[in-house]
Amino acid sequence: MAPPAPRRAFNDVVTRFWSFAAPAYDAQYLQHLVYRPAQDELIAALRAHRPARVADIACGTGILADRIERELQPEAVYGVDMSDGMLKAARERSPKVQWLTGPAEQLPFDDGALDAVVTSSAFHFFNQPAAVREFYRVLAPGGMAAVTAMSPRLPDPLKQLSGIRWNPAQQPTPSEMHALFTDAGFTVADQHRVKRPAWTLLVSDLITVGVKPSS
């Protein structure tokens, strides 16, 4: 089933931007400061769960999927992205990861085909309820989904008191993130802030780990 038209137009814009940005994306300072801490958290979550079949959704140039393959050596690792430019760089990075094209909301996997799904620094681009439901669909019972996402530090009660509703960048609060997971059927096993140096407090992201119940 094709995604609805407005979503397809948005996805086209996102895809074009990231194909254009792919050559700059791997700059060491950018990776080290912005992307690496979230990827470290996902590697730790995977290490604890020990899945056999893992997919990194919105894998970009493939840095995390390649790390998963080399550091954890599961049976199969997939990297999925919508952007041809990012996937071209990913294919050059590793012949061992299986690179696939597709949107997070319509993944190229059968029901129950995976044991873990992770995604890092891309959740704000997704149709979030649709993507989390899709993660649930492609996981086998007992499978794990781990998402790192930008999330405001303002506590929920303060947010309610202040009446702030403006959220153009789709940054869910911890409780909104929790609800996205439980609404899709997951049990939330862990949720905490990504550990970063104090001076990077402006980058405030959260890891949420959900497990698909076994029965």
Ligand X SMILES: C[S@@+](CC[C@H](N)C(=O)[O-])C[C@H]1O[C@@H](n2cnc3c(N)ncnc32)[C@H](O)[C@@H]1O
Residues 77, 89, 104, 209: which binds ligand X (CB under 6 A)?
A: 104
State the distance between the two ends of the chain, measured CA to CA, in whole angstroms. Answer: 28
Dist CA 132 CA 134 (whole Å): 5
Residues 78, 99, 126, 186: which binds ligand X (CB under 6 A)?
A: 126
Report, in Å, the least distance between residue 159 CB and ligand X: 25
Closest residue to ligand X, judged by C-beta, is: 60
Which is closer to ligand X, CB of 104 or CB of 146?
Answer: 104
- 18 is an interface residue for ligand X by CB under 6 A: yes
Tell me how far CA of residue 206 lies from CA of 26, 123, 196, in angstroms: 22, 11, 11
Is beta strand 53-57 parallel, antiparallel or unpaired with respect to 76-81?
parallel
- 125 is an interface residue for ligand X by CB under 6 A: yes
- 90 is an interface residue for ligand X by CB under 6 A: no
Residues 41, 66, 69, 81: which binds ligand X (CB under 6 A)?
A: 81
